[in-house]
Amino acid sequence: MDMKKLKSIILLAFTTLLISFSIWSCNKEFEPIVLNGNWDLDTSAVMVYIVYNPVIANEYPETKKFLEKNLQTIRRELMKPLRIAFKAPNKADFIYNDVPLPVEGTFEQNNGFFTITNVIFPNGISGASDNIRLELYYTYDKLMSILKLLLTEDDDPYEVYQQLIEKFEGVGSFRKTN
């Protein structure tokens, strides 16, 4: 057999194998999302997003500078809790370094999405998981409440920040440890 035919046969076999694998993987059953267990904070994947109103940003450049200067402080607030422990049937505990007992709560799950309710999030905090990573989604209102705690009398009024910030979102990221 000449080299050209051998390469063609190998290429055909490889292509057939790839197509077979693709078809097989598409027909696999969906793996259910299991939240139970411990999820530890992944500090490298905690993010805060701010979208400014450009008109207000031009009017209040110091306010925008304040936000930029304090972005990491706000981000660090999202690095709490350090661990989330999901327990059957629907218990979810937030575990903090500086709080001796866990903050107990409950959760409701719908496939890979869930909502945790506890004293810190009485209206719930939404999240999602793919069995490897878990994310909590912090809303505008929660991030604005963190920001409000940072403001002093020397800073612009809270209402200016409300006008300046069009979009304010955060993501807390966790990895399953067991």
Pair 96, 66 in one domain: yes
Pair 17, 67 in one domain: no
* pLDDT at 5 exceeding the cut of 60: no
Closest CA to 47 of 76, 70, 69, 68: 76
Pair 41, 112 in one domain: yes
Report residue 19 as tokens: 């197509």
> Which residue spans within 23-96 are E strands per DSSP?
37-41, 47-52, 83-87, 91-95
Find the domain containing 8 and state its range.
Answer: 1-30
Pair 145, 59 in one domain: yes
Residue 43 has φ and ψ, to the nearest 5°, of -60, -25
The pLDDT score that the predictor gives to residue 104 is: 96
Pair 89, 169 in one domain: yes
* pLDDT at 149 exceeding the cut of 70: yes
* pTM assigned to the model: 0.79
Share of the chain above pLDDT 90, in %: 76
**Pair 161, 147: CB distance under 8 Å:** yes
Q: For the chain, how many structural domains are there in total? A: 2
Pair 57, 9 in one domain: no
Pair 8, 56 in one domain: no
Pair 23, 46 in one domain: no
